[in-house]
């Protein structure tokens, strides 16, 4: 009876029950280097891989997390049991001046594999164009379901992030690999893979020129700058910014995958920039770690890192939209952090601290240093997650604009003329008198 009625409803309205049920038949196993194995079923690409097994406590935004380049090399375990229920949207951005080319966080799935307790075989969302299973298959990314992700999370939480293997199909029944066979992705320079190879410009007509050092930038970082009117020049991660710095009003350092130790070259370039250049610098996650290393702080590997969209951080200093003493809820995805050392290097102070584990969540240049440099371990751009700290992008661009106006005024004063912030040149004296006709 119900089936007959359903058949009468036009197909495009029946979006609640899209796509025929995915056939999950072949076995899929997660082996951990520490000796535990979890047997489930495969719903992604029929291929076995190695990776670093991490867990995320995010409840939504699996599409954003999976396309975040910082997850490269990682087997991502979702602690939320039901994943895939709103499907996957088209990743093609509409063409407009704020276009960064994609809707999600990059143009492909970046993590090596995903592990979920219960994949949704049917999805429902007005923007969805395919299921999580078909997206994984199309991107050649293995995925397993039907395993106890709570047990996996408890293990990872106790023993820390652990190397793993996803074995699919015939491989799933094979004994676990020998310990020396596990591949450690952090031994490779994943930033060099994730970064753009050639510079490119977004929103070239923007009023303030920002250079972005791309360690594997999330698209929402670029969007957050472009939507606030900036012209954004994206540079490869190891580009020596000092060669072109006079063309820019500010420097931004992006997030990125893997061990920050691989970015020492960028930190050394940045050390020179921070010494000789007085314009604003802002870094997020990997970018924050690179700023810290350039400032003389040490980056270390945490036991299990922080991955999720509800990490509370306490502001220790006020700056722009941030008020000292307030707690902000943030989106995070990191394995490394800067060491809290006492005293901090001269000219620097801690900016935020994590309320759960007391790790350093941000650093800033001191007021006395005369510099405007900030780094935050969390993701103000969210995608997904809360927008508590999104105005840090506005703060950064306000400083860049202020600096630009000040520099213009100073240079025009040297020439005996003054240029107004609106860009209309005025001459101090004598003023030309216009005579009405």
Q: Report how far residue 114's alpha carbon sits from residue 167's, in angstroms, rounded to the nearest whole number.
A: 12
- Per the annotation, the verdict on 111 as an active-site residue is no
Residue 111 beta carbon to ligand GLN: minimum distance, rounded to whole angstroms: 12
| Binding span for ligand GLN by CB under 6 A among 135-143, 165-173, 254-262, 270-278 | 254-262
Q: How far is the CB of 419 from ligand GLN (least distance, A)?
A: 39
- CB burial of residue 23 (10 Å; 0-12, 13-18, 19+): exposed
**Residue choice 44, 142, 257, 375 for contact with ligand GLN (CB under 6 A):** 257
The least distance separating ligand GLN from the CB of residue 257, rounded to whole angstroms, comes to 5
d(Cα 56, Cα 332) in Å, to the nearest integer? Answer: 9
Phi, psi (rounded to 5 degrees) for 268: -70, -40
Cβ of residue 192: shortest distance to ligand GLN, in angstroms?
13
With CB under 6 A as the contact rule, the residue among 262, 334, 364, 371 that binds ligand GLN is 334
Q: Which of 161, 163, 198 is nearest to 177 (CA)?
A: 163
Q: Is 380 in the site for ligand GLN (CB under 6 A)?
A: no
Residues in the interface with ligand GLN (CB under 6 A) total 12
3-state secondary structure (DSSP) of residue 420: coil
> Which residue in 87, 146, 176, 256 binds ligand GLN (CB under 6 A)?
256
Q: Are 376 and 352 in contact (CB under 8 A)?
A: yes
Given the rule CB under 6 A, which of 18-26, 119-127, 253-261, 388-396 is the region that contacts ligand GLN?
253-261
**Residue 333 binds ligand GLN, judged by CB under 6 A:** yes
Which of the stretches 114-122, 194-202, 331-339, 398-406 binds ligand GLN when contact is defined by CB under 6 A? Answer: 331-339
Q: In this chain, which of 286, 353, 363, 392 binds ligand GLN, going by CB under 6 A?
A: 286
Structure tokens, 93:
């951005």
Q: Which two tokens stand for residue 202?
A: 């977004």
Q: Can residue 42 be called a binding residue for ligand GLN (CB under 6 A)?
A: no
| CA proximity to 27, closest of 113, 182, 145, 120 | 145
User: Smallest gap, in angstroms, from Cβ of residue 255 to ligand GLN?
Assistant: 3
Q: Could you tell me which stretch among 80-88, 140-148, 257-265, 408-416 binds ligand GLN (CB under 6 A)?
A: 257-265
DSSP 57-93: --SS-HHHHHH-GGGBTEEEEESSSEE-TT-EE--BP
Q: How far is the CB of 167 from ligand GLN (least distance, A)?
A: 25
Q: Is 55 among the residues that bind ligand GLN (CB under 6 A)?
A: no
Q: Is 63 in the site for ligand GLN (CB under 6 A)?
A: no
Q: Which of 87, 176, 206, 258 binds ligand GLN (CB under 6 A)?
A: 258
The answer to the question of residue 255 lying near ligand GLN (CB under 6 A) is yes
Considering the complex, state which of residue 177 and residue 185 has its C-beta at the smaller distance from ligand GLN: 185
* Cβ atoms of residues 304 and 156 within 8 Å: yes
- Residue with tokens 């250079």, as numbered in its chain: 211
Cα 2 to Cα 6, 13, 17, 122: the distances in Å are 6, 16, 14, 18
Closer residue to ligand GLN, CB minimum distance, 128 or 253? 253
Closest distance of CB 137 from ligand GLN, Å: 26
Q: Which two tokens stand for residue 238?
A: 């190891």
- When asked if residue 335 is in the footprint of ligand GLN (CB under 6 A), the reply is yes
Query: Would residue 15 show up in a list of annotated catalytic residues for this protein?
Result: no
Of 22, 56, 65, 70, the one binding ligand GLN by CB under 6 A: 70
Among 77, 143, 225, 285, the residue binding ligand GLN under the rule CB under 6 A is 285
- Exactly one of 328, 336, 348, 378 binds ligand GLN (CB under 6 A); which one? 336
Contacts 24+ apart (CB under 8 A), 88-92: 88/63, 88/123, 88/128, 88/129, 88/130, 88/131, 88/132, 88/134, 88/135, 89/63, 89/125, 89/127, 89/128, 89/129, 90/127, 90/129, 91/67
Q: Of the listed 285, 288, 309, 334, which one is catalytic? A: 285
Let me know if 334 is a catalytic residue. no
Q: Indicate the length of the chain as a whole number.
A: 437
Q: Which of residues 188-247 bind ligand GLN (CB under 6 A)?
A: none
> Which of the following is catalytic: 52, 64, 381, 399?
381
* 8 A C-beta contact, residue 268 and residue 296: no
Quote the DSSP letter at residue 339: -
Question: Which CB atom, from 215 or from 239, has the smaller least distance to ligand GLN?
Answer: 215
Tokens of 390: 């999104």
| Whole-number Å distance between alpha carbons of 432 and 352 | 53
Which residues are designated catalytic? 285, 379, 381
Q: Which residues bind ligand GLN (CB under 6 A)?
A: 70, 255-258, 260, 285-286, 333-336
């Amino acid at each position: 009876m119900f089936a007959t009625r359903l058949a009468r409803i036009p197909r495009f309205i029946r979006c609640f029950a899209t796509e025929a049920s995915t056939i999950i038949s072949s076995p899929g196993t997660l082996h951990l280097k520490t000796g535990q194995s979890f047997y489930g079923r495969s719903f992604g690409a029929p291929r076995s891989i190695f990776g670093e097994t991490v867990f995320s406590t995010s409840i939504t935004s699996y599409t954003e997390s999976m396309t975040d380049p910082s997850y490269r090399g990682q087997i991502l375990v979702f602690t939320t049991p039901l994943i895939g229920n709103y499907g996957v949207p088209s990743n093609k951005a509409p063409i407009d001046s704020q276009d960064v080319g994609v809707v999600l966080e990059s143009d492909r799935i970046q993590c090596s594999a995903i592990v979920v307790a219960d994949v949704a075989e049917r999805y429902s969302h007005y923007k969805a164009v395919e299921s999580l299973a078909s997206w994984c298959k199309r991107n050649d990314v293995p995925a397993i379901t039907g395993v106890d992700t709570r047990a996996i999370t408890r293990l990872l939480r106790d023993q820390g992030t652990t190397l793993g293997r996803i074995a699919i199909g015939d491989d799933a029944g094979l004994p676990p690999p020998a310990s020396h066979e596990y591949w450690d992705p952090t031994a490779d320079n994943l930033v060099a893979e994730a970064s753009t190879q050639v510079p490119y410009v977004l929103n070239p007509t923007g009023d303030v020129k920002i250079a972005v050092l791309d360690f594997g930038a999330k698209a929402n970082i670029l969007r957050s700058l472009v939507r606030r009117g900036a012209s954004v020049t994206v540079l490869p991660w190891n580009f020596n910014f000092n060669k072109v710095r006079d063309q820019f009003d500010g420097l931004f350092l992006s997030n990125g995958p893997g061990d920050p130790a691989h970015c020492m070259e960028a930190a050394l370039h940045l050390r020179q920039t921070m010494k000789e250049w007085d314009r604003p610098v802002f870094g997020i996650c990997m970018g924050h770690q690179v700023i810290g290393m350039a400032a003389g702080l040490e980056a270390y590997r945490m036991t299990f890192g922080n991955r999720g969209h509800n990490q509370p951080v306490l502001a220790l200093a006020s700056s722009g939209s941030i008020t000292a003493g307030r707690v902000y809820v943030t989106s995070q995805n990191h394995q490394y952090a800067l060491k809290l050392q006492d005293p901090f290097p001269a000219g620097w102070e801690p900016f935020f601290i994590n309320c759960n584990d007391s790790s350093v969540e941000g650093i800033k240049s001191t007021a006395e240093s005369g510099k405007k440099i900030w780094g935050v371990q969390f993701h103000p751009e969210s995608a997904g997650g809360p927008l508590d700290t999104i105005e840090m992008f506005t703060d950064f661009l306000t400083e860049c604009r202020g600096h630009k106006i000040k520099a213009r005024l100073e240079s025009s004063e040297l020439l005996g003329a003054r240029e107004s912030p609106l860009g209309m040149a005025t001459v101090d004296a004598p003023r030309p008198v216009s005579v009405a006709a």
